[in-house]
Amino acid sequence: MHQVTVLHRDEDCIVVDKPSGMVVHPGLANDAVDLLRVVRSIAARRVFPAHRLDRGASGCVVFALHEAAASALGRAFAEGRVEKRYLALTRGHPPEEGVIEHPIERVPGGPKVPAVTRYRRLGVAGRYALVEAVPVTGRLHQIRRHLKHLSCPLIGDVKYGKGEHNRLFRTEYGLHRLALHALELCFPHPRDGALLTVRAPVTGELESCLGALGLRDAVPA
């Protein structure tokens, strides 16, 4: 079973570091293991996922531990009071910083709606770049699609990326995953509204890859 690390836990919520390759909800995937069931086992109680994270991505995911907390977290996400900070390794160099405004559908096949992502370039290595992305809205595959819109697709992205670069990173750097990590989550605590910031360290294949590229020190402290 995938190792799931608890980053924060109190009587109202639990934040965990989702491994790459694990789905958050059972859904249509019908995987033998999913994050919801793993966290339910860790917490030994019913849990309520407050948001989603792509299967291929890793990092911070928060679950409420009771219905009142689930309602409070749901409102915070819906009202844009949650900041999610991601690391993405791209093929190509985006500008040093900027805002991407490019419509994306909320669900597959749905109408396109406004979508906004702030970003800044943290470092470069040859043809590749490490990017910090902060989605202002929450749309389907938003960061992956927005960076592709800049002609800087993510490494390891089989849907929106480039196969030759994905293969190169598998063979040269041992990276067999999507290069997207939810580094930090900042949200109002469901009990008193005080801001809580939780960080998931970069580990495993992604950390090794960034080290080999000389980009490990570019990760924000």
pLDDT, residue 28, reads 63
Would you say 214 and 128 are in contact if contact means Cβ atoms under 8 Å apart?
A: no
Q: Please give the average per-residue pLDDT across 6-20, as a whole number.
A: 98
Instruction: Please give the CATH number for the structural domain made up of 5-218.
Output: 3.30.2350.10
Q: Give per-residue pLDDT as tens, 76-96.
A: 999 999 999 999 999 999 999
Q: Please give the average per-residue pLDDT across 136-149, as a whole number.
A: 94
pLDDT, residue 110, reads 86
Q: Please give the average per-residue pLDDT across 55-62, as a whole number.
A: 97
Q: Give per-residue pLDDT as tens, 101-137.
A: 999 988 888 899 999 999 999 999 999 999 999 999 9
Q: Please give the average per-residue pLDDT across 198-203, as a whole number.
A: 98
pLDDT, residue 103, reads 96
Residue 213 has pLDDT above 80, yes or no: yes
Enumerate the domain spans of the chain. Answer: 5-218
In whole angstroms, give the CA distance from residue 57 to residue 80.
21
Q: Please give the average per-residue pLDDT across 137-153, as a whole number.
A: 95
Tell me the pTM. Answer: 0.95
Q: What is the mean pLDDT of the chain?
A: 95
Q: Please give the average per-residue pLDDT across 129-151, as a whole number.
A: 96
Token digits for 92? 């190509």
pLDDT, residue 198, reads 98
Known catalytic residues? 54
Residue 27 has pLDDT above 80, yes or no: no
Q: Please give the average per-residue pLDDT across 166-170, as a whole number.
A: 97
Q: Please give the average per-residue pLDDT across 154-174, as a whole number.
A: 96
Residue 1 has pLDDT above 60, yes or no: no
pLDDT, residue 26, reads 82
pLDDT, residue 15, reads 98
Give 97's strand partners: 120
